[in-house]
Structures are given as C-alpha cells and as structure tokens.
C-alpha cells in the first residue's frame, strides 16, 4: 500500500485490533480513549517518525565509503501489552520500495545470558510477545489491514524469478523463521539467477546442508529464530571443515553487537531496500571470487 493511501480509518482499525489482542480481558482503560476532536490531516500524527538513513560500516561487508543505504520510511507507535509496555505498532517499507505495511515490533531484544537470574522469566516474556505479534498480524490480515504477507503475495504474483533466463549462478540458502520474508527474499534471488533453498531456523539449516547435493555459495541468515538462532548456527558452521568457509550474510532486525556481526561475512539491518540487499549479495560473491 502506498503511503498516501493509508487513511486515519485504517490506522484506527489496526490500532483497535492490536489493543483487543494485547489487552484481552483487561480493563476498558486499556483501549484508546474516545475523542470528539476532528481527525488530523496527517494520519501518522501519533507516530514517531523512525525513518532510517544509515551507512554500513565497511567491516560488516558493505563499502560505506562508496554508497549509503536507501532511505526507508518507518513509523512507530508504542502501545505495549498487558505484560510488557514497550511493544510497538509499526508502519513501514521493507524490501519493496514505496509499499507500506503494518507490523508489530516486540521491542524485546535486550540481551540476557542464560546464567543471569532473570533469564527464564525474560525468555517467557519474549515467547509471549512473539505469540502475540503473530496473533495481532493474523487479525490484521483477516480485517484487510495490509501486512507483509500482502507485499509478498503482490510481488510473487509478478513472478520475478522468471525475469532471469541465463544459466543458474549457484545455490543460496535462506534461513529465516518468517516465511513470508524468506519467500520474498528467495524470489528476489531467483530473479537474479540463483537457486534458493529455505530453512526456518538454524537446526533445519544444518539438516538442509547435510542433504544438499550442491554446496551453497552463500547463506542469508536471520538472527532470532526458534530452536537455534543465527549466531549459534554460525558457530556450528565454523566448527566443521565442510562448512567453515561458507560465506554468511546476516540480514536481521535484531540488535547484534559488533563481535557477532564480525562472525558473519556481511551484515544488513532490516528493514532494508531490495537494491541494498542485492548489491550486498553481489559484493560478497565478488569478494569470494577475488574480484
């Protein structure tokens, strides 16, 4: 959906559905207060403009001295939930320029080690937030509030993978627990002539690698995933001779510290523009070939 097509009514509908799920069985005070004030001209007047215009450090695989990341529009409104006050309603661009969708940012990326006393409680909060995020986005989908799945469907209907007619350029493994995102990233790569295999988390990725007949030329990897996260997968890959040298591109919305970034061969924060992603893939593959 284009930004100019997002109305106050649509934002109100998305907010009401969010609140109904996030504060289910809570008191009525949890709902947004009713008002008789006329609607403002800008439907985003209650949002923080969280637009990102960043430069990637060269150490993370991106030539920061030569180009910047594309500017992405991202609007955030903190609504919280019954257990956790920092969860946000987000309207943003991601991958497909100019197309906006609604999503939930759980905003719970605080790093707590397993040996810390509150670790189990914190992990329970994260699991609850993730489940709630899925519930809210499912409600939006049923109510025709545009989510990332609508972006994915629209893009796949255009069949970008058929635009490439040359020889296949190699196999790329995409590891991401967000199916819609993995499918769209896969479609972009197929449109550039790559074969793509997907996995939903690190453990499934290891299983895929054991059974693939062709060695991947690149792994595109998310950070936070169930069962085995991205950094654990990288450590597993580096422990075995057959997979030690596989190039890895971290593409994630998670907060990743410098040491973890440098465990990979490239890093790109989500949300990202499709051109930035494809350029970084080409840069990394060129480096692998010594070009």
Residue 66 has phi, psi (to 5 degrees) of -110, -30
Alpha-carbon span 27 to 214, nearest angstrom: 57
List Cβ<8 Å contacts ≥24 apart for 226-230.
226/177, 226/200, 226/201, 227/201, 227/202, 227/203, 228/201, 228/202, 228/203, 229/201, 229/202, 230/175, 230/202
Structure tokens at 196: 């793509």
Q: Which residue is listed with tokens 């999503």? A: 103
In this prediction the pTM is 0.82
Q: Tens-digit pLDDT profile for the chain (291 aa)?
A: 999 999 999 999 999 999 999 998 544 444 454 455 555 567 888 898 887 644 454 444 444 434 577 888 999 999 999 999 999 999 999 998 899 999 999 988 777 778 888 888 988 998 899 899 999 999 999 999 999 998 888 777 765 445 667 788 899 999 998 888 999 999 999 999 999 999 999 999 999 999 998 999 999 998 888 778 888 888 899 898 888 889 999 888 877 777 777 788 888 888 889 999 999 999 999 988 876
Is residue 198 within 8 A of residue 221, CB to CB? The reply is no
Q: Which CATH number does the domain 159-288 belong to among 2.60.40.420, 3.40.50.2300, 3.40.50.300, 3.50.50.60?
A: 3.40.50.2300
Task: Please list the residues that pair with 250 across neighbouring strands.
Answer: 221, 267
Kindly list the domain boundaries of the chain, sorted by start residue.
3-147, 159-288
Q: Which two tokens stand for residue 258?
A: 């410098």
Q: Are 217 and 171 in contact (CB under 8 A)?
A: yes
Report how far apart, in Å, the C-alpha atoms of 123 and of each of 90, 120, 135 are: 23, 5, 18
Q: How many other β-carbons are positioned within 10 Å of the β-carbon of residue 165?
A: 6
Contact partners, residue 79, CB within 8 Å, separation at least 6: 15, 18, 19, 22, 87, 88, 89
């Amino acid at each position: 959906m284009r930004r100019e097509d997002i109305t106050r009514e649509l934002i109100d509908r998305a907010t009401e559905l969010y609140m109904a799920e996030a504060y289910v069985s809570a008191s009525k005070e949890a709902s947004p207060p009713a008002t008789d004030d006329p609607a403002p001209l800008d439907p985003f007047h209650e949002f923080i403009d969280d637009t990102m215009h960043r430069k990637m450090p060269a150490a993370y695989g991106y030539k920061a001295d030569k180009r910047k990341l594309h500017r992405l529009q991202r609007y955030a409104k903190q609504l919280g939930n019954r257990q956790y006050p920092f969860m946000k309603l987000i309207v943003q661009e991601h991958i497909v320029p100019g197309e906006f969708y609604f999503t939930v940012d759980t905003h719970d990326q605080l790093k707590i080690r397993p040996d810390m006393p509150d670790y189990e409680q914190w992990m329970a909060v994260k699991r609850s937030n993730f489940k709630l995020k899925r519930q809210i986005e499912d409600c939006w989908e049923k109510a025709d509030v545009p989510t990332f799945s609508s972006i994915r469907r629209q893009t796949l209907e255009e069949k970008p993978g058929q635009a490439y007619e040359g020889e296949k350029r190699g196999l790329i493994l995409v590891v991401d627990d967000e199916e819609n995102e993995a499918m769209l990233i896969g479609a972009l790569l197929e449109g550039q002539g790559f074969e793509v295999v997907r996995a939903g988390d690190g453990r499934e990725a290891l299983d895929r690698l054991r059974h693939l007949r062709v060695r991947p030329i690149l792994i595109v990897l998310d950070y936070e995933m169930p069962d085995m996260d991205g950094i654990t997968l990288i450590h597993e890959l580096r422990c075995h001779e057959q997979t030690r040298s596989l190039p890895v591109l971290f593409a994630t919305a998670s907060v990743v510290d410098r040491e973890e970034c440098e465990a990979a061969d490239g890093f790109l924060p989500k949300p990202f523009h499709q051109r930035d992603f494809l350029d970084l893939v080409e840069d990394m593959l060129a480096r692998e070939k010594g070009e």
